[in-house]
């Protein structure tokens, strides 16, 4: 069938879904364009917001909350930070904005049966002013083991064998003893239920920086290598790799080293890896602002990455410093380290309109939750700017949120999209589009696509040998034309239902439709 021999140009795709973030699988296209697709926000009102007397600033900002669906009981669960603010006392003392004595953080818990309607259960762990609360970690008086708990990332450990340690949290631990340290101490705690937590005696070590990191962390896993991955902020974000004795600058846009982005005094994405959650590699930069593609004041605040199976998707939080706002762009990677961006500069998740609860800030720190054939994209947002309300009183900024806490509000919202529909190859109704794949090794089986056809649209497929000769019975005219809208459809031909083994190429014929993925299945 195919006289060509295997070489380095032939692809081994196995049974992994093939996305179109890049051109690796593409040999040629005609009358097709690549489109980026955003989720649709489902409601004007937030799902979770400040509504309890013990809550002050429900801090649904980048890296300070997490939503997941627990497979043990099928409940949606949310952990979110509450920031206790004592601004006047802090201003008088002249201390830093993150001194735990005046800005203590703690973590609260909410749950939902359907992911839409949430409750804040009375847990009996912390009582404040006569109220039985939903506080699970941290306290403002520093009377418990945890003290101030900041930028905590909660996850269910896929490698854990003991139920009592099923949930983990990597968090910044603030105490009155370490309040003067310029670096942030991180610790680990575990829990059987995500509610009752016990700290680990052994502290995480991030290469030469010990337990110190910047104020942001997002954890995921490489299941194949049994490795924990943490996207973090360097403990000396502004002066990493710069000359010794370079002063720490509070202004993160300067100095600007145009010939060496690694030295830029800007926020950017670093990554560390570990086999045991304790011994981590030194944080290394994996994504930095680009001189030509990004505005001069754009910063990469934090990035959550999501395993698509053979491909990684990154939710990159971009901070626009001058306007003091944030939105989310998409990045992708084939190895979980080398990330590139889809349409740099274009937000994938946008802020709300004027007057909305997320008009200035939006983030996707929790990652997607799959529900049927949909992805629930939980997103934090704020009606206030990033830090004008935090430092505005000290700086004397003439903005209402600097002196009026009623202007400050962080909440949790929801957007939805169909599974795997982040990017497509799309054709309109005028001319038929054609996609030809590069040769790949087929082990036989079903060809399954994720596609959406508009009125009168279709997708048809012809199968050829690796040298481009169309196989009898698998020609375009033999293909049963697909005209629907589903995330998983098997392509068939009049006399055949499966692909043969060997080196193959696929010819997709697309009209007024969008092709998101294809996959070979047994």
pLDDT digits (tens, 9 = 90+) for 450-501: 999 999 999 999 999 999 999 999 999 999 999 999 999 999 999 999 999 9
CA–CA separation, 153 vs 173, rounded Å?
A: 12
Q: In the chain, what's the furthest Cα-to-Cα distance?
A: 83
Domain 26-37+423-521 indexed as CATH 1.10.260: no
Shortest CA distance to 442 belongs to which of 15, 5, 20?
A: 15
pLDDT at 249: 41
Beta carbons of 459 and 426 less than 8 angstroms apart: no
- What's the alpha-carbon Rg for the chain, to the nearest Å? 25
* pTM, two decimal places: 0.92
Give CA torsion, residues 234, 239, 245, 249, to 10 deg: -110
pLDDT at 310: 87
CA–CA separation, 457 vs 317, rounded Å?
A: 36
What are residue 510's DSSP bridge partners? 433, 459
Burial 147-169 (b: 16+ CB within 10 A, else e): bbbbbbbbbbbeeeeeeebbbbb
CA–CA separation, 392 vs 111, rounded Å?
A: 34
Q: For the chain, what are the domain ranges?
A: 26-37+423-521, 40-418
Q: How far is CA 254 from CA 258, 424, 431, 515, in A?
A: 11, 38, 50, 44
Q: What angle do CA 244, 247, 250 make, to 5 degrees?
A: 140
Encoding tokens for residue 124? 């009996």
CB-based contacts of 407, cutoff 8 Å, min separation 6: 383, 384, 389, 400, 401
Helix, coil or strand: residue 457: strand
DSSP secondary structure letters along 264-318: -SS--EEEEEESSSSEEPPPEEEE---TTTS-TTEEEEEEEEEE-SSSEEEEEEE
Task: pLDDT tens for the chain, 522 residues: list them.
Answer: 444 555 666 789 999 999 999 999 999 999 999 999 999 999 889 999 999 999 999 999 999 999 999 999 999 999 999 998 765 554 444 445 555 455 678 999 999 999 999 999 999 999 999 999 999 998 765 555 677 899 999 999 999 999 999 999 999 987 655 554 545 689 999 999 999 999 999 999 999 889 988 889 999 999 999 999 999 988 877 654 444 444 444 444 555 555 655 455 678 899 999 999 999 999 999 998 887 899 988 999 999 999 999 899 999 999 999 999 999 999 999 999 999 999 999 999 999 999 999 999 999 987 899 999 999 999 999 999 999 998 888 788 999 998 888 999 999 999 999 999 999 999 999 999 999 999 999 999 999 999 999 999 999 999 999 999 999 999 999 999 999 999 999 999 999 999 999 999 999 999 999 999 999 999
Helix, coil or strand: residue 426: strand
Name the class of domain 40-418: mainly beta
Query: Rounded to 5 degrees, what are φ and ψ at 90?
Result: -65, -40
Beta carbons of 100 and 179 less than 8 angstroms apart: yes
Give CA torsion, residues 441, 444, 449, 453, to 10 deg: 100
């Amino acid at each position: 069938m195919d006289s060509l021999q295997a070489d380095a140009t032939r692809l081994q795709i196995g049974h992994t879904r093939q996305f179109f973030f890049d051109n690796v699988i593409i040999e040629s296209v005609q009358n097709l364009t690549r489109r980026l697709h955003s989720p649709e926000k489902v409601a004007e009102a937030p799902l979770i917001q400040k509504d309890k007397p013990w809550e002050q600033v429900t801090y649904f900002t980048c890296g300070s909350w997490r939503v997941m669906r627990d497979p043990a009981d099928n409940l949606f669960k949310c952990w979110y930070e509450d920031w206790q603010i004592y601004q006047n006392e802090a201003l008088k003392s002249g201390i830093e904005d993150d001194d735990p004595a005046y800005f203590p953080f703690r973590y609260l818990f909410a749950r939902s049966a359907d992911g839409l309607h949430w409750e804040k259960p009375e847990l009996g762990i912390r009582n404040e002013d006569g109220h039985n609360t939903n506080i699970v970690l941290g306290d403002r008086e520093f009377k418990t083991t945890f003290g101030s708990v900041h930028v905590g990332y909660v996850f269910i450990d896929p490698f854990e064998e003991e139920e009592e340690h099923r949930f983990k949290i990597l968090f910044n631990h603030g105490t009155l003893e370490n309040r003067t340290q310029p670096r942030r101490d991180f610790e680990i705690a575990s829990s059987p239920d995500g509610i009752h937590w016990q700290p680990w005696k052994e502290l995480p070590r991030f290469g030469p920086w010990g337990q110190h990191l910047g104020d942001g962390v997002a954890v995921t896993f490489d299941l194949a290598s049994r490795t924990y991955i943490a996207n973090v902020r360097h403990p000396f974000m502004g002066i990493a790799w710069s000359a010794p004795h370079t002063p720490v600058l509070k202004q993160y846009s300067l100095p600007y080293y145009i010939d060496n982005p690694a030295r830029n005094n800007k926020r950017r994405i670093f990554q560390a890896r570990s086999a045991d959650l304790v011994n981590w590699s030194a944080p290394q930069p994996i994504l930095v602002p680009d001189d030509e593609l990004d505005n001069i004041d754009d910063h990469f605040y934090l990035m959550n990455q999501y395993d698509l199976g053979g491909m990684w998707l990154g939710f990159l939080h971009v901070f626009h410093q001058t306007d003091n706002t944030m939105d989310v762009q998409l990045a992708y990677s084939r190895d979980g380290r080398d990330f590139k961006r889809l349409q740099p500069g274009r937000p994938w998740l946008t802020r709300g309109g004027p007057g909305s609860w997320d008009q200035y800030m939006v983030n996707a720190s929790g990652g997607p939750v799959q529900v049927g054939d949909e992805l629930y994209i939980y997103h934090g947002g704020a009606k206030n700017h990033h830090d004008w309300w935090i430092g505005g009183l000290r700086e004397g900024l003439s903005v209402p949120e600097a002196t009026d806490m009623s202007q400050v509000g962080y909440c949790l919202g929801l957007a939805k999209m169909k599974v795997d529909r982040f990017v497509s190859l799309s054709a309109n109704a005028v001319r038929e589009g054609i996609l030809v794949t590069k040769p790949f090794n087929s082990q036989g089986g079903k060809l399954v696509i994720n596609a959406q056809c508009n009125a009168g649209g279709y997708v048809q497929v012809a199968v050829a040998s690796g040298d481009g000769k169309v196989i009898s019975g698998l020609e375009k005219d033999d293909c049963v034309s697909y005209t629907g809208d589903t995330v998983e459809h098997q392509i068939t031909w009049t006399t055949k239902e499966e692909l043969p083994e060997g080196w193959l190429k696929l010819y997709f014929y697309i009209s007024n439709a969008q092709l998101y993925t294809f996959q070979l299945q047994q």
